[in-house]
Structure 1
């Protein structure tokens, strides 16, 4: 089933707990394949051993920042962890994304929805803010495109700050240090499209 993270009930969205369990299972499988212990990965991701253990069992959810750090510790990407393992493409090589309420990751203000399988060349995601500046500068190997659907947000790049409103977009190479924030009291909904890094 390529349409969702987790299982989908016959007449409703996928179960959020199932999405968390699926993410935890992917993290555990990759960690074990790398021959790494929970303690090692937790330390590299700046998380407690007990918390990461809960994540692997689907009992806790990661923030996007923590997911980024776990992915780095495992030598992979956020989007690879968020999407299901590659399955056979349907005839014609297409993918249909259905609206869903489940998410194994939360921005702290709303869920992160991944809208493509990991076999694609790029991964589109919907993220809901407000976003706060926690001091972390993001850098990764994949280029990124951000389109604002609703509200306003500030994208901070090495050349300065750029305020985006609904309908505005930005594209930057992944090696460019970047971070986001929303104006105080603001709310935003964005589509983020990242390159899929091939391992």
Structure 2
């Protein structure tokens, strides 16, 4: 299943996309899995996943979630682990700039991961149109803040309209998804615990 609008070919492979691809390839090889096996489990085409591993394509959050499941890890680990990095240095920091590249695509808009190198929590800023095509369930607690626009948040069987400035916190294991109204966009900051492996 190809992902329209996710190509990074216009600017060439970015360092962020190459880093994500390298992490996926390294973990896949460590698991003893072929490209075809991971692609099939993640419901992606073999050629698309090959392009991702080479840093030539960006992934959607949904596809990254499926690849992480196939590899027995989490989105956060794939987005923030550095396979070549050693233990985190005491007092280390990184300043994120507005023009830093992102390896993810959210409906044609970039999803910016604002942490790296084994963080304890993973902040992510996503802007654009959201659809409720998938229920999400993960072990990590999550905090969501609506920076701009309006978001329809579904937590279990309950639905909430989240306006600009509203926030929600939910524990791991809570089934959730969110969407925007047709024709509307939103900017959302989400923060998850930096878990490494799924149950």
TM norm structure 2: 0.85
Is the CA contact 1:15–1:102 (under 8 Å) kept in the aligned structure 2? no
2:143 alignment counterpart: 145
Show the counterpart of 1:7. none
| Distance in structure 1 (CA, Å) of the matches to 2:173 and 2:65 | 15
Distance 1:16 1:54 in 2: 10
Give the match for residue 8 of structure 2. none
Query: Are residues 1:83 and 2:80 paired?
Result: yes
- Contact map agreement 1:42 1:48 (CA 8 A) in 2: yes
Q: Distance in 1 between matches of 2:145 and 2:181?
A: 17
**Matching residue of 2:182:** 184
1:159 aligned to which of 157, 169, 174: 157
**Residues 16-27 of structure 1: pairs in structure 2 closer than 5 A:** 17-27=14-24
5+ residue gaps, structure 1, are 1-13
Cα distance, 1:16–1:76 mapped onto 2, change above 3 Å: same
Q: Does 1:70 align with 2:67?
A: yes
Paired positions, count:
185
The CA RMSD over aligned residues, in Å, is: 1.9
Single out whichever of 31-40 and 15-24 deviates more from structure 2. 15-24
C-alpha deviation, 1:33, in angstroms: 0.6
Question: Structure 2: 5+ residue runs without aligned partners?
Answer: 1-10
Take 2:159 and 2:32, find their aligned partners in 1: how far apart are those partners?
41
In the TM superposition, residue 90 of structure 1 has moved relative to its aligned partner by 5.0
C-alpha contact (below 8 Å) 1:79/1:118 kept by paired residues: no
More off after superposition, 18-27 vs 175-184: 18-27
Note the alpha carbon deviations across 1:46-84, whole angstroms, 9 max, x for none: 111121111111122211100110011111111211224
Equivalent positions of 1:8-23 (< 5 A) are 17-23=14-20
> What is the rounded CA distance, in whole Å, between the counterparts of 1:54 and 1:92 in structure 2?
36
Aligned partners of 1:187, 1:175: CA distance in 2, in Å? 27
What TM-score does the superposition give when structure 1 sets the normalisation length? Answer: 0.85
